[in-house]
Structure 1
Amino acid sequence: MTDETHRAITTVWRQESAKIIGALSRLTRDVPLAEELAQDALVAALETWPRQGLPDKPAAWLMTTAKHRALDRLRHVKLSGDKLEQLGHELDAREAMIVPDFVDDLDDERAAREIGDDVLRLMFCACHPVLGLEARVALTLKMVAGLTTGEIARAYLQSEPTVAQRLVRAKRTLGEANVPFELPRGEALTGRLTAVLEVLYLIFNEGYAATSGERWIRQDLCDEALRLARMLVRLAPREGEVHGLLALMELQASRASARVDAQGQPVLLLEQDRSTWDQGSIERGLAALATAERLAAEADDGEGPGPYALQAAIAACHARARRAEDTDWPRIAALYEVLAIRQPSPVVELNRAVALSMAFGPAVGLEIVDRLMEEPALKQYPWLPSVRADLLAKLGRNAEAKEEFERAAAMTANARERELLLRRAREQGH
C-alpha cells in the first residue's frame, strides 16, 4: 500500500467513522456491535482500495460495506424473514442519507441533522458515566475521533494491548448496562453533558501540555478536541458551557506557534511573541465566550458563567493584552476567585496564587503556595514546586528556588518540561 493511499484511507475514516458508527448504532441499538461492524468495513477498505483504487464516494462505500456486515450478522442470529427484510430496507434507506454530497434542500438538511444527532448520541454513549474517565477518553478517541488503538496508546504512552483491553472492557460494560442509543433528557442530560465536556477538556489539556513524552505539545490531540467541541456546539447550541469550553480551547490554541521555539523547547507565556498568536482563533474564541456569557445571563439562575466560560474569560485577558505587561492581572485574580467558588480545586488555587503574585507581588502568591505544599492531591504535581521556585527566585531566595526547580524536574515525565526546569535551576546559581 502506498503512503498516499494509506493517508487517504486514514483521512476518510477519521472524517466519516463517527457518522457510520452512529448510523449503525441507531439501527442495531448496539453501540459496541456498530463499532465492530464499522471496523470490519475499514479492514475491507484497507484490503480493497490499494488494489482497486479509491472509490468515487469513499464514505458511501464504507457505509455500504458496513451495512452488508450488519445484514450478515443479523442473518446469523436467525431473525424471521419479515423482520430481516424490514431491517434490510431500513439499512438501505439509511445508507442513502448517511453521506449527502451537499445540503441544498429540505430533505438534505433533514439528513444532515440526523447525521449530527447520531454523532451526538455516539459522543454521549462513549462518555456514559457507567464508564471510568480513562475508558471514556479512549472510547471517544476511538469511536468519535476515529483514532486507531495504536494511536491512542501512543498518545498516552501506554502499550497497545493495555489500551485494547480497556476498550474491550468499556464496550462490554456499555453492552451489559444496556446503555440506550439516545440523548438523555432532563437532569440526566446535564450529568451526561458534563461527562462529555470533561472528556474533551482532558483530551485538549493533554495535547496542550503533554504530561509525558518527548514533545511539549500534542497538536493532534488539540486538533481532535477542537473538532469535537465545534461539533458539539453545532449540536447543542443552547448549552452555555459548550460554548465556554470551545472558547477556552480556541483561545489557548491561538498561542500554539509561540509556545515552542525552533528547537521544540517550551516558551513561557510571558516570553512569547504575541504577534504570532493566531488572530482568527482569538476572534472565534472571543465570539464563543460572548455567546457563553449571553446564555448564562439568559438563564437567569443567579449562577453566572460556568467553570469553562470562566477559564475562557481568563484566557481572553491574555488574548486581549498586546504585550505581556498589559495583562490585567487583578481581573484574572478576581476571575480565579470566582472559579474557586464555582469549582474549588487545589489546581485552581495554585493558579489563583500565580495571578495574585503577578498583580500584587510574589510574597502574596507564595503565602498561598506554601499552604498548598501539604495538599495530598498536589504531591506529585510538578507545577506546584515549579511555581514556588519561580516565586522564590523573584524574592531573591535563589538557593531555595534552585532546589524547588530541581524537585519539579524530578517529578515530570515530559522531557521538554524537564529540560526547561533544569535550565531554570541552573540559572539560580548565577
Structure 2
Amino acid sequence: MRHTQVARYAIGALGVSSLLLASACGAGSKTGAAQAKNVGCDITQPTSSTTVNVLAYNSSAIDPFTNTMIASCGSDTLKFKHDPIDFAGQVQKTATTLNGTTGTYDIVEGYSLVIPQYADKLEPLDSYFAKYKDKFKLGDLDKTMLEGMTYDGKLYGLPTQANVTTFAYRKDIFDELGIQPPKTFEELKAAAAKIQASGKVKYPLAMPLLASGDISTRYSLGLYSQGTSYIDPTTKKLTFTSPAGTKSLQWLKDLTPYMDPQVTTFDQPKVQQQMFNGTAAIAEMYSGRMLDLTQEKNSKYYKDFGFFTAPSLEPGGKPWATVSVDGWTIPKNTKVDKDLLFQVMAASISEAAAKDAVPAALPSRTGIANASNMPWYDAVQGALSAGAPTPPMERWTSDLQTQTREFLAQGITGKVSVQDALQKAQAVGEKVIAADGS
C-alpha cells in the first residue's frame, strides 16, 4: 500500500481499552465553535425537529471537525448534542452504544481497527459516498485514509484525519555532537549511545512501550518495517516465532539500555513529557502529538525540536511506522435518518475545516498540509511515500494484541528470553485466531 499524499488504532471491546488509550492524540483545540460557524454547511435540513448525538473525544486533532459539524450545521430544526469527553470515556461509550439494541449516539468518531471489530454494527457508507461525492468534493479525500476506513470491500467510516509514527529530536544536542537524524535502527542505537556517553542525557531515547497497551503497536511496527505483519502473506501463519518476529522484539530489547528503566510503564503522554523536561533527546510518537512540542508554554526547548521520518529496522526496509486513521461512523442502531447523518459528516470535513485542523491534524482532504504550515510535514511524508501501512484490518487483531502483549513485555525486560517470549505469544495467538474462525 503506497501513500503519496500527506495524511496520516482503534476502538475495540472494553477489554482492550488500555491498548486504545495509547492511540489518542493531544488535548485542546484551536478551532472554536464561533470560528467553525463561519465554515458553512450545505446540507438538506430536516423538516421536523431532529437531535443528533455525537460521540467524539476532545483533542486538537478532532475538535476542528466536531466543532464544524455542530456549529455550522445546526439550525432551528437540527440540533446537536456533544458532551466533552476524554478518550477513555469514548472507548467505553462506543462499546456500549454499538452493542445496544438502540444506541445512545447517532455519529461515532472511530479508528481504523473499530471497523473490523464492529463492522456488523456500523452502516456501510458506499452508497452515500457515491451520492454525495461531487457535492462535498469527497474525491479529494486521501485514498489510503479511505482504505483505513474500509473492511471487506465496504466503506464504514468517513475519514477526518490520521496519525503517522514520527520521531522528534533535540536539534541542539544533535548538532553539538555531530549526529545526523538516523535512517536505520543501527543508526538510532548509535545516536542514543553517543548522547548517553556524552553525559548530556542519561536515557536519551523515549518510546511508548506501556506493557498494557503501546508495546503491541511498537512490536508490530517492526513487522511492518520488514514487509510483513502478524500473519505471513505466503504461509498464512502467525509470525511471532519467525525471523521477522524475533528481529522486531530483539531490537526493542537492544534499545532498552538507552531508555528509562520504567519504559514499560510509559504511554505517549509520558514520552512527550520526557521531551518537554529534557530527560530525553529522541522520541517516537504519533504525529498528532508533535504540535505540543513546538509550544513555548510546554517546554523551554520548544525551539530546539526537530523531526525525522521513522527509521527502518534494517537498511533498505520500510519505515518503522504505521498510519492510524480516524473517521466518522454511523451506528446501524441509530433512529436518525442516515442520509442526513452522512451529509453532516461530509460537511464537517470541508476544505475550511481541514485548514483549521492543520497543523494539529493531518487532514483527510489532500493538498491542505505542507512544509510551510506543518513543521513535521517532511518527516511524515517520508514515511507515507515509503509505504507506511494502516494497521491490519482483521477482527482478531485487538484480541491478539491484548492476549500476547504480556509476553512481549517479558521479553523486552529480560524476564524471559526473546525466544521464549515469542513462543508463548505464538501459542496464545494461534488460539485467538482459531477462536475467531476467520
TM-score by structure 1 length? 0.27
User: Which has the higher Rg, Structure 1 or Structure 2?
Assistant: 1
Which is richer in strand? 2
Which is richer in helix? 1
TM-score by structure 2 length? 0.26
**Higher relative contact order (CA closer than 8 Å, sequence separation 6+):** 2
